[in-house]
Structure formats: C-alpha cells, structure tokens
C-alpha cells in the first residue's frame, strides 16, 4: 500500500512537472488559428459566467446568445479557459490574457502524464517514468501541450477513461462506476473523438474470459450517465438540445477537407492513403521513439494474437487502435499533422517504456539507453520549439529532407511569431500588413498580448498591404507571386527559415523601412 | 539474454545515430556567408540572359541574397522552358538529405555544364542551356502567377476572351497555359480550350482539363510555323462553359 501511494505520488509529480514545463515554455508559442477562435469563445463564455453570477435566471435564459459561437465543439475545455481567465486575469489580475486561457491546457498535459505514468507503473516504476517522457520528448507533441485547444485534452481523457475503466472493473464499486461515468462524460465534453470510446470498452469486455466479461459488461451501463456531464458542461444544450446535438454531429460528419501536402501531392479529397497516419507518425517523431512505439504496437498485437494480453494491455491496444482507426478509413479528413490521433502514440508509450526497461534491467544500462532514446527528441525540441508544426524526425531527413520529399511544411500560422519583432521594429505607424494564414482573432491576440504593436493594421490582401508575412503552404503558393506583383519586388525583407527551409517570408514595399 | 543485449545495443546505436544526424545537419547547410559569397560571385559573373535556378526548389532563402538576376524555382528541370534564359546558374545545396543531382536532367535536355564553384555548403554551376533563340515574347507578361506550384511569367486572360499579339514568327510557336492557384483542382469543372491562329490561319488548340495530379497543370503546345510573313498577328481564343476560373497564358516564338 505504501508503495502504491508512493507510485501515485511519483505520477503526480510527473503530472505537475509536465504542466510546469508547458507553462515555462509557452511564451514564444504563437497563437494557432484555432486558438484564436477558442479565445474568442472563452471571452463570450466568460461574459456568460459573469451574468450567471449576477443574474442566474437571465444567464440560463440566454445561453444561445453566449454559447452559439464555436457551436461545433462541446463546452468543457472552453469553459475552463473562460474560468481560468475570469479568475486569474479578470478577477485577480495575476496573469496575462493568453496565459490564463492556456492554463487549463497545461493541466490536461499534466493529467496525460499522470495517467500514462500510472499505466506504465503497473509494469515497473521505470516504465512509469519513461512512458510520459517518451510521449513528450518530441517537438510535435511538446508543441501541442501548450495550446488552448482540444487535442491534448482529448488525448489525456483517452488515457483517463482507460484508467477509470480499469479501476471500475477492478473495484466494482458504485463510486468507481460514477467516476468512470464522469470521466467519459468529461471526454465527451472535450471533443467528439470520444464518440468511439464506448465501442472500445464494449469490445474490451467481450474479449475477456467469461467471468471477467460479465463483470465488465456490468460496468458499461454507467456510461449512460455520461451525457449528463456533457449537458452540464455545455450550456448551449440547455435549450433545444436536439438541434444543437444534430449541428455538432453534422459538422464533423461533413467536415471540410483542407489541402495537405504529402509526398509531393496535395491531398484534397478522399480517398487518402490508408497508411497515411502511420507514415506521418513515423516521419515526424524522433526515430528512436518511432522504433519503440512500433515495437510496442507489435508486442501488443502479438500478445493479442496469442491471447496473452492482460486486461490493461488489451485496453491500451484498444485505445491506441481506436485513436488511429478513423484515419485508416481513407475518408476521414487528414489535415492537422498527427494531432488528431495523438492518443495512438500516447497509449503505446506504457508498453514502449516497459520494453525499454526490459532490455536494460540494470539501472546504469537503463539510464544510458533512455538517454540515447530520448536525446534526439530533446534536441528536436531545443532546435525547433516553438515551431512545432514544422518538425520532422530523422526518417524524413529532418526539416530539409521533408521539404525535398514534398511534405506539409507547417500549419496553423503560429510560426508568424518569428517575424513579429521584425515587423514591430520596421513598420511605420499604422502600416497595413498582410498576415496571410493568421486569422483576425489570432492577430488580435498578438496585439493584446503585446507581441504585435497595436497600431499595425490587418490587411486582407497583399494589394492592400505595405508589408506581407507569407506562411509557406503548398496550396497557397499563389500568394507569393501575388505579393511580387503588388509590391514590385521579388526580394524578401526577412523571414523564418528552419534549417534553410522557408516557413514565413516577409516582403516590404520598396522604399519602406526594412525593404531590401 | 543475447536478444536483450542485441536490442539494447541496437537502441543505443539508433539513438546515437539519430542524434549524430541531428547535430551534423547544420554543418551540411549554408551559412549567411556562403550565401553572400555565392551572390557576390553571381553579381560578378552575371550577364543579360542569365538566371539562377535554386536546387532543391525549396531553397528560396537565396532570394534574400541574390540580386543580380532572376531567381527561378522550377520543379521539373527536364521540361522547364527557361524561356529567354541563355545561361542558367544552378545554385544547389548538395549535402541536404535526399538531394538529387540536377545535372542528369539538364544534360538530358542538351545543356552543357561549366566548372562548378563551392561556397561552403553551396554549389554554383553555370549551364549553357543551348535553347533556340527567342524570336518574340508574344505575351510579354510583366506579372507572375502561380500555376502548378511554380511562378509563371504569363498574362491573365479571361475565359471567353482572347489575347492578340503581333511579333516575329520564327520557326516555332510555343504556348503554355493553366489555371492559377487551387482553382485548377476544382472537381467537375469542364476543360478550357485555347484556339491558336496566326494571321487567321488555325495552328492548333491547347486543351487544359481540370488538374487531377500535381505537376500536370501547366499545359503545353509546340507547333512548327508554316512558311509565311516574318511578322504575324497571333490570336489566342480562350473558351470554356465555365468562365469562373483565373486563367494564365504564355506564348513565344523561337527561331
């Protein structure tokens, strides 16, 4: 029992450490396009919370007005962003706006480490420590841990539901059943990915030996309570829930396909390559991590084929597979790098960590091999952060190799932070700047956070701008000649080039400050 | 035991190898000084009709430094037109991962290399393209537009409209055309047809279907010109049931 308590304490420390690491390194991380929308949503929801405090009946009556914005995602994370901002910025005045909005995201990152540590700890203490480290020691995953978005939160809830399910089965108590219901409800209230979790739990139960199967099947009905959490955390559903639920489902079942560059071809519509998500994981993550995750996948699949998986490993295999499966169907939208199936890599890390610990049972051996495996990822973070969406691993030949192979250069526009100091230093007062992929919501966040001068204006096109900050996207290649035509020059003034590869290119009209 | 030991060694080797790759990558990339020296060499050696082709085509940081001549980022060296370019300076980063030597494609089209010079991680090599002399640049575009992910010096012509130009006939007419930007990929759109004539005599047509695969969107028509006046009026009539897409045309004659 003492040992168990100590294990949990260690897991908690891993969680706190992760959240702290995110908080300490979030400063230079640009505001991704979606954060712009979620910041705006959080402002609206915070206004509703204030109304709820002062006039509860009016707030309940006016949920549509405050919660209709960003109706396509449920409320929990955005509600947390709003609460955090309301407490730490509006009320206490301790934190700047954007840090307050991001704070709950760091908590989810910490929770993910906590649950991965617990899953790893069931094999060995070393596996418990290594599992979260394997997940986070990569520029892409580390980057996502900073964002006020839903990808790390749903990844965390993916693991959290798995842990809650195992606990509910093991303990069989009403309390553990309620906790399972709450955890799954929270997952539902974070992101629609959670729709696929009940079938995973059902299949998990059906694959168990007879006695355990019955026990697990009796846990399933607890999930019927979960929609209550979704309902409570998403006031938009308080009026006309049927319509809003239909809108939510319809948005994701008819989601637009954004262009995505993959091995020299821009993917625009289904069918997408069936191997796409696995290939992308292999290309963007550090090679030793890829090798270990692949070994973990093979190990779990081999154990499954031989019917040697215990309940927890079967759960991990099911959750990892369920995170990936929609993207193997060739019809699910594939934009967004690996962020939509982060749960796949995450749920393989406990097994990968156990394999790592198994090949090096002696502490010094384990330290050496862990360092060897984690060092490329740590270097990737040190080298690429905060431009995580541009990161590629050794298999892709790093960022230059990926550019030669014809792989998506970046996404979400946050890399623009690299050129904001240049714009601040050179733009004349009131200069109109074409920010390209940076949406107006993110532009406002840059101004509000002091990263961009408030007098610099947002221009809708190069023709209406004096400066342009172009984000290199294959599908937006026309913007650069458009800028040349408008400005009458082919020479950039500045830019962000990672390992020589253009990410953001700044042009200035000839004669203006900073123009070459 | 042996398997475990082998796995341990393999993992350490994989980690060390990966880190070695990561740490050495910077040494395989050019410094600002390399770029500046290469740009200086181009400034000294450049003459009219020269252009720089960067390789790989993503190496566009060159634009920050090279100011003596146009910088091209053609992606297919085997069939790029290099219209009006007599000498092409290939500025490449040969030590980058997955680098493919551009020389083979240029030699295959009859280009002849000169001595190459290294500037740190950059290689600069002049190529005599041995292209037929341009008789007339019929479209004389001052603007550039992206078609099939390459900036093209072409003129926008409205679908349903026509472009007329007078110029030296030479021996052959070359027509290139495509839809600007992502609209080229719009599903279910009808093809665009360019009917080409000189002094009223039909020379052929160029069909521009919806682009289905990257690298096929910049369509080409090359026709030998029949004997006649040394200077003629060329007409390009662009038509399609769908007039909504931005269309770009380039045409020139060669001797």
Chosen from A353, A371, A477, A516 to mutate, greatest number of chain B CBs within 10 A: A477
CA distance A363 to B65: 52
**How close does chain A come to B155, measured CA to CA in Å?**
12
Write out chain B residues lying below 8 Å of A285, CB-based.
Answer: none
Residues whose CB is less than 8 angstroms from the CB of residue A43 and which lie 6 or more positions away in sequence, other chains included: A82, A85
Nearest to A359 among B8, B145, B146 (CB): B8
CA distance B180 to B189: 14
Q: Which two tokens stand for residue A141?
A: 């995953």
**How close does chain A come to B88, measured CA to CA in Å?**
18
- Residue A404 forms contact with B (CB below 8 Å): yes
Nearest to A376 among B7, B22, B144 (CB): B22
pLDDT in tens, B75-88: 999 999 999 999 99
pLDDT for residue A2 is more than 60: no
Quote the crossing angle between the two packed helices A197-206 and A174-190, to the nearest 10°: 140
CA distance A41 to A169: 38
Residue B151 CA to chain centroid, in angstroms? 7
What pLDDT is stored for residue A335 in this prediction? 87
Chosen from B6, B14, B142 to mutate, greatest number of chain A CBs within 10 A: B14
Write out chain B residues lying below 8 Å of A291, CB-based.
Answer: 11, 14
Contact B18 A287 (CB under 8 A): yes
- Residue A510 forms contact with B (CB below 8 Å): no
CA distance A336 to A144: 11
pLDDT in tens, B17-51: 999 999 999 999 999 999 999 999 999 999 999 99
CA distance B106 to B85: 13
Contact B98 A375 (CB under 8 A): no
**How close does chain B come to A33, measured CA to CA in Å?**
21
pLDDT for residue A29 is more than 50: yes
Question: A472 to each of A189, A407, B76, B149, B177, how far by Cα in Å?
Answer: 34, 12, 20, 12, 24
A391, A399 contact by CB (below 8 A)? yes
A241, A200 contact by CB (below 8 A)? no
A residues 225-264 lying closer than 8 A (beta carbon) to B: 259, 264
- DSSP-derived letter for residue A87 is I
Q: Is A398 helix (H, G, I), strand (E, B) or coil?
A: helix
What's chain B's average pLDDT? 97
A199, A243 contact by CB (below 8 A)? no
State which residue of chain B sits closest to A405, comparing Cα positions: B98
Write out chain A residues lying below 8 Å of B26, CB-based.
Answer: 499
What's chain A's average pLDDT? 97
Q: Give the residue-averaged pLDDT of B186-191.
A: 94
Dihedral sign (CA A457, A460, A465, A470): positive
pLDDT in tens, A404-441: 999 999 999 999 999 999 999 999 999 999 999 999 99
Contact B96 A400 (CB under 8 A): yes
- Distance in angstroms between the alpha carbons of the first and the last residue of chain B: 76
pLDDT in tens, A133-188: 999 999 999 999 999 999 999 999 999 999 999 999 999 999 999 999 999 999 99
State which residue of chain B sits closest to A497, comparing Cα positions: B61
The answer to whether ipTM exceeds 0.90 is yes
What pLDDT is stored for residue B229 in this prediction? 96
State which residue of chain A sits closest to B55, comparing Cα positions: A404
CA distance A480 to A441: 23
Contact A502 B11 (CB under 8 A): no
Q: Give the residue-averaged pLDDT of A200-220.
A: 96
Q: Give the residue-averaged pLDDT of B121-131.
A: 97
Contact A404 B93 (CB under 8 A): no
CA distance A169 to A178: 12
Strands of B87-92's sheet, edge to edge? B71-72, B50-55, B87-92, B122-128, B112-119
- Residue A463 forms contact with B (CB below 8 Å): no
- Residue A492 forms contact with B (CB below 8 Å): yes
What pLDDT is stored for residue B202 in this prediction? 97
Q: Give the residue-averaged pLDDT of A186-194.
A: 97
pLDDT for residue A97 is more than 90: yes
Question: A324 to each of A155, A165, A332, how far by Cα in Å?
Answer: 12, 20, 11
Question: Sorting pLDDT into bands at 50, 70 and 90, what band is A20?
Answer: very high
What pLDDT is stored for residue A27 in this prediction? 95
Residue A161 CA to chain centroid, in angstroms? 17
Question: Sorting pLDDT into bands at 50, 70 and 90, what band is A230?
Answer: very high
Q: Which two tokens stand for residue A137?
A: 């020691």
What pLDDT is stored for residue B1 in this prediction? 79
- Residue A12 forms contact with B (CB below 8 Å): no
Q: What percent of chain B has pLDDT over 90?
A: 97
B139, B250 contact by CB (below 8 A)? yes
Question: Sorting pLDDT into bands at 50, 70 and 90, what band is A5?
Answer: low
Q: Give the residue-averaged pLDDT of B57-77.
A: 97
Nearest to B18 among A266, A286, A501 (CB): A286
Pairing, β A457-459 against β A432-434: parallel
Contact A478 B63 (CB under 8 A): no
Question: A267 to each of A155, A190, A323, B24, B214, how far by Cα in Å?
Answer: 25, 28, 21, 32, 10
Question: Sorting pLDDT into bands at 50, 70 and 90, what band is A1?
Answer: very low
- E strand or H helix that includes residue B118: strand B112-119
Burial of B165 (0-12, 13-18, 19+ CB in 10 A): middle
CA distance B127 to A83: 64
Nearest to B98 among A266, A404, A474 (CB): A404
Residues whose CB is less than 8 angstroms from the CB of residue B151 and which lie 6 or more positions away in sequence, other chains included: A477, A480, A481, A484, B73, B144, B145
Chosen from A404, A482, A489, A492 to mutate, greatest number of chain B CBs within 10 A: A404
Write out chain A residues lying below 8 Å of B180, CB-based.
Answer: 478
- Chain A / chain B CB contacts < 8 angstroms: 137
CA distance A124 to A108: 24
Residues whose CB is less than 8 angstroms from the CB of residue A253 and which lie 6 or more positions away in sequence, other chains included: none
CA distance A351 to A305: 16
Contact A400 B214 (CB under 8 A): no
Contact A401 B97 (CB under 8 A): yes
Quote the crossing angle between the two packed helices A174-190 and A151-171, to the nearest 10°: 160
pLDDT in tens, B234-249: 999 999 999 999 999 9
What pLDDT is stored for residue A115 in this prediction? 98
Q: Give the residue-averaged pLDDT of A298-326.
A: 97
Residues whose CB is less than 8 angstroms from the CB of residue A471 and which lie 6 or more positions away in sequence, other chains included: A410, A413, A415, A416, A436, A437, A438, A503, A504
A452, A476 contact by CB (below 8 A)? no
A125, A174 contact by CB (below 8 A)? no
A494, A467 contact by CB (below 8 A)? no
pLDDT for residue A216 is more than 70: yes
What pLDDT is stored for residue A4 in this prediction? 58
Write out chain A residues lying below 8 Å of B59, CB-based.
Answer: 500
The alpha-helical segments, DSSP class H, found in A385-514 are 398-405, 420-426, 440-448, 479-487
pLDDT in tens, A455-477: 999 999 999 999 999 999 999 99
pLDDT for residue B60 is more than 50: yes
State which residue of chain A sits closest to B71, comparing Cα positions: A490
Residue in A441, A500, A428, A492 with CA at minimum distance from that of residue A462: A492
CA distance A471 to A248: 31
Listing DSSP states for A47-61 in one string gives HHHHHHHH-HHHHHH
**How close does chain B come to A43, measured CA to CA in Å?**
35
CA distance A42 to A49: 10
- Distance in angstroms between the alpha carbons of the first and the last residue of chain A: 69
A486, A508 contact by CB (below 8 A)? no
């Amino acid at each position: 029992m003492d040992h168990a308590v100590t294990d949990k304490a260690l897991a908690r420390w891993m969680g706190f450490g992760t959240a702290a690491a995110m908080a300490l390194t979030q400063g230079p991380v640009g505001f991704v396009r979606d954060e712009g929308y979620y910041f705006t949503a959080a402002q609206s929801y915070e206004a509703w919370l204030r109304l709820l405090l002062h006039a509860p009946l009016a707030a309940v009556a006016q949920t549509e007005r405050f919660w209709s914005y960003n109706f396509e995602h449920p409320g929990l994370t955005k509600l947390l962003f709003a609460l955090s901002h309301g407490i730490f910025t509006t009320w206490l005045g301790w934190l700047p706006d954007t840090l307050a909005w991001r704070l709950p995201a760091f908590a989810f990152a910490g929770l993910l480490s906590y649950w991965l540590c617990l899953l790893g700890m069931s094999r060995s203490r070393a596996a418990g420590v290594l599992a979260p480290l394997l997940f986070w020691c990569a520029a892409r995953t580390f980057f996502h841990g900073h964002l006020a978005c839903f990808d790390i939160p749903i990844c965390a809830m993916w693991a959290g539901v798995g842990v809650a399910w195992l606990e509910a089965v093991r303990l069989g108590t009403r309390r553990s059943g309620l906790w399972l219901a709450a955890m799954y409800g929270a997952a539902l209230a974070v992101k629609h990915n959670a729709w696929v979790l009940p079938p995973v739990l059902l299949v998990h139960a059906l694959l168990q030996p007879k006695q355990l199967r019955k026990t697990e099947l009796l846990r399933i009905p607890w999930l019927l309570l979960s929609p209550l959490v979704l309902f409570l955390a998403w006031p938009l559903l308080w009026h006309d829930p049927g319509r809003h639920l239909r809108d939510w489902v319809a948005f994701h079942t008819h989601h637009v396909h954004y262009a995505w560059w993959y091995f020299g071809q821009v993917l625009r519509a289904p069918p997408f390559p069936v191997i796409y998500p696995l290939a992308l994981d292999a290309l963007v993550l550090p090679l030793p991590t890829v090798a270990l995750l692949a070994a973990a996948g093979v190990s779990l699949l081999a154990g499954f084929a031989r019917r040697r998986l215990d309940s927890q490993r079967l759960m991990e295999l099911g959750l990892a597979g369920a995170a990936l499966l929609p993207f193997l169907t060739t019809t699910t939208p594939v934009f967004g790098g690996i962020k939509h199936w982060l749960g796949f890599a995450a749920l393989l890390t406990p097994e990968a960590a156990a394999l790592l610990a198994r090949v090096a049972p002696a502490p010094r051996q384990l330290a050496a091999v862990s360092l060897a495996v984690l060092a490329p990822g740590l270097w990737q973070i040190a080298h690429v952060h905060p431009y995580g969406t541009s990161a590629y691993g050794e298999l892709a030949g790093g960022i230059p190799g990926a550019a030669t192979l014809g792989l998506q250069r970046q996404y979400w526009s946050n890399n623009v932070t690299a050129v904001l100091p240049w714009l601040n230093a050179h733009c004349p007062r009131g200069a109109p700047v074409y920010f390209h992929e940076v949406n107006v919501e993110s532009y406002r966040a840059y101004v509000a956070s002091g990263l961009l001068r408030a007098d610099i204006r947002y221009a809708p096109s190069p023709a209406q701008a004096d400066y342009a900050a172009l984000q290199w996207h294959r599908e937006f290649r026309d913007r650069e000649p458009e800028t040349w035509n408008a400005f009458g020059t082919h020479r950039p003034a500045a830019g962000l080039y990672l390992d020589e590869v253009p990410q953001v290119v700044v042009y200035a009209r000839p004669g203006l400050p900073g123009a070459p | 035991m042996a398997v475990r030991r082998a796995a341990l060694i393999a993992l350490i080797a994989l980690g060390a190898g990966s880190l070695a790759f990561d740490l050495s990558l910077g040494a395989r990339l050019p410094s600002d000084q390399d770029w500046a020296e290469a740009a200086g060499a181009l400034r000294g050696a450049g003459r009219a009709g020269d252009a720089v082709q960067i390789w790989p085509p993503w190496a566009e940081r060159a634009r920050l430094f090279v100011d003596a001549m146009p910088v091209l980022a053609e992606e297919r060296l085997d069939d790029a037109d290099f219209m009006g370019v007599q000498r092409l300076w290939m500025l490449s980063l040969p030590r980058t991962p997955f680098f493919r030597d551009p020389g083979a494609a240029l030699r295959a089209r009859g280009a002849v290399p000169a001595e190459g010079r290294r500037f740190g991680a950059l290689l600069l090599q002049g190529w005599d393209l041995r292209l037929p002399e341009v008789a007339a640049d019929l479209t004389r575009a001052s603007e550039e537009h992206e078609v099939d992910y390459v900036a093209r010096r072409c003129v926008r012509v409205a679908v349903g409209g026509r472009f007329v130009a007078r110029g030296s006939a030479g021996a052959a007419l070359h027509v290139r055309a495509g839809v600007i930007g992502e609209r080229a990929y719009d599903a279910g759109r009808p093809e665009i047809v360019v009917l080409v004539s000189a002094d009223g005599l039909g020379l052929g047509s160029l069909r521009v279907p919806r682009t289905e695969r990257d690298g096929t969107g910049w369509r080409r028509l090359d026709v030998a010109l029949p004997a006649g006046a040394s200077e003629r009026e060329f007409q390009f009539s662009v038509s399609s049931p769908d007039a909504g897409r931005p269309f770009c045309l380039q045409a020139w004659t060669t001797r």
